[in-house]
Amino acid sequence: MQEAPHPHAREDIVTEQSQHTNIWKVAAASFIGTAVEWYDFFLYGTAAALIFNRLFFPSFDPLMGTLAAFATFAVGFVARPLGGIIFGHFGDKIGRKSMLSATLMIMGAATFGIGLLPTYASVGVWAPILLVLLRILQGFGLGGEWGGAVLMAVEHAPANRRGFYGSWPQMGAPAGLLVANAVFSIFSRLPEEQFVAWGWRVPFLFSAVLIGIGVFIRHSVAESPAFRAHQAASTKAPAASSKIPALEALRTYPKQILLAMGARFAENGFFYIVTTFVLTYGTGQLKLERSDMLTAVLVATSVHLVAIPSFGALSDVLGRRPVYLGGAVACAVLAFPFFWLIDTKTTGLIWLAITLGIIAHAAMYGPQASFFSELFGTRVRYSGASLGYQLASVFAGGLSPLVATFLLTESGGKAWPVSLYMVGLALITLVSVYLSAETFREHLTDPAAKAPEESASGTDKQREVA
């Protein structure tokens, strides 16, 4: 006689299937929403490299105008830590989900506003001033976006797949860059007069459509299980909830925040040199066609979309540190060959250079979301991860196109100082990741009643990695 199934067996199967379906839904929502945010942010970088020097800084010579445009590009990064602190605070207090729609709306409003801006020829100095203000608003929105998006994915994910699912919001960066460069590339093919007069505005105005789609998709996703458990524990024991998460993160996890910052230097700085500064170098220094350089970035970015989840999944097997360290070493090795290949002015070799740079970046960016999330406890995870991520962006990604352009100017158009700068960024990351603890086997449990002082102790076992 066949044994009757356990009364809870079917319920367990249904629950497992439901969780599997849910994580795919969360991952997709994180990816799409983040892609929209990055589209807005990267669009500015592309425009700064190709057109903003003429529209907003026409009194400068071309190279100095580009330097000024990249300075406004960097301003957006300065605002990102503030966004990370404010949205991190409320994300740790009232939930991850509610912050994500707000960041999307802020970013969308700023990007749409840039598309409506009068130029220097119309309003004089007010044009760059308004541009800077809207760029600050962009940075503020993006600063709060990253922490919430990656935590939704990582905290929903199965323990042995956090690297893979955590890489999905990371895929939003190349997707946003891909769409931004594709749209910009289409309109850059307009006759020069039309492109300068109105063509450059359309990609910024198109943001309104993408924001609407992103908000709609994110609205349907449930709050993360880790935060719901923490919230329930906080209801029973109010002391389990942090009063000021950002300050507690700085007090309890200073080492982790500093190491996370260092881990970003090669990843963030290298990325903006390979995808943004290279446009200026190719079109300005080497006199290559604007459309050819944009196409090269598009090809590499398509590879990036595949490489990021691949390295995220690899970190679930090998660990976060080995994969991340491999990416940093690759960045250092490629620093000089990257420009040697670009300098050939050969289409295939330019594609190869940017693609290799993008793959090296993906080895760090893929496991980064899970790696940084696993460094902090649930009660301050949004704030802690955001601080480490966003503070580094000011000094790495925000300054790298500016520093690279300055080095190019001072060297009389030679790229080797930029290569040395890239090696320096890689060394900072190598040291930081080497000194970090491995986290991929840690559990995202939340001993919510545990005192912060206990979880702040220096050993890996005593650190609260919830």
3-state secondary structure 297-352: HHHHHHHHHHHHHHHHHHHHHHCHHHHHHHHHHHHHHHHHHHHHHHHCCCHHHHHH
Q: How far apart are CA 244 and CA 379, in angstroms?
A: 10
Q: What is the pLDDT of residue 445?
A: 58
DSSP, res 197: I
State which amino acid sits at residue 128.
P
- Of 41-50, 82-91, 111-120, 358-367, where does mean pLDDT reach its minimum? 41-50
Domain that holds residue 394: 15-455
**Gyration radius of the chain's alpha carbons:** 22
Domain CATH code at residue 412: 1.20.1250.20
Q: Is residue 207 included in any domain, yes or no?
A: yes
As a whole number, the mean pLDDT across the chain is 83
Q: Is residue 465 included in any domain, yes or no?
A: no
Q: What is the pLDDT of residue 455?
A: 37
User: Does residue 328 contact residue 425 with C-beta atoms inside 8 Å?
Assistant: no
State which amino acid sits at residue 328.
A
User: Does residue 256 contact residue 388 with C-beta atoms inside 8 Å?
Assistant: yes
The total of other beta-carbon atoms located within 10 Å of residue 136's CB is: 19
Q: What is the pLDDT of residue 379?
A: 84
Name residue, tokens 């840039």.
114
Q: How far apart are CA 50 and CA 64, in angstroms?
A: 13
Residues recorded for the chain: 466
Q: Is residue 38 included in any domain, yes or no?
A: yes
Q: How far apart are CA 119 and CA 168, in angstroms?
A: 37
Q: Into how many domains does the chain fold?
A: 1
Measured CA angle at 81 (ends 97, 262), to 5 deg: 110
Q: Is residue 4 included in any domain, yes or no?
A: no
Q: Is residue 460 included in any domain, yes or no?
A: no
Q: At what angle do helices 381-395 and 62-94 cross, to 10 degrees?
A: 170
Tell me what percent of the residues of the chain surpass a pLDDT of 90: 34
Q: How far apart are CA 462 and CA 458, in angstroms?
A: 7
By CB atoms closer than 10 A (0-12, 13-18, 19+), residue 4 is exposed
Question: What confidence tier does 5 reach under pLDDT thresholds 50, 70, 90?
Answer: very low
Q: How far apart are CA 306 and CA 290, in angstroms?
A: 26
Name residue, tokens 């993408």.
210
pLDDT (tens digit per residue) in 6-49: 444 443 333 344 455 588 888 888 888 888 888 887 788 778 77
Q: Is residue 316 included in any domain, yes or no?
A: yes
Q: Is residue 1 included in any domain, yes or no?
A: no
| CA-based nearest residue to 207, from 106, 102, 78, 56 | 106
Q: Is residue 326 included in any domain, yes or no?
A: yes
- Of 90-99, 303-312, 348-357, where does mean pLDDT reach its minimum? 90-99
Buried b (16+ CB within 10 A) or exposed e, 202-234: ebbebbeebbeebbebbeebebbebbebbbebb
User: Does residue 211 contact residue 36 with C-beta atoms inside 8 Å?
Assistant: yes
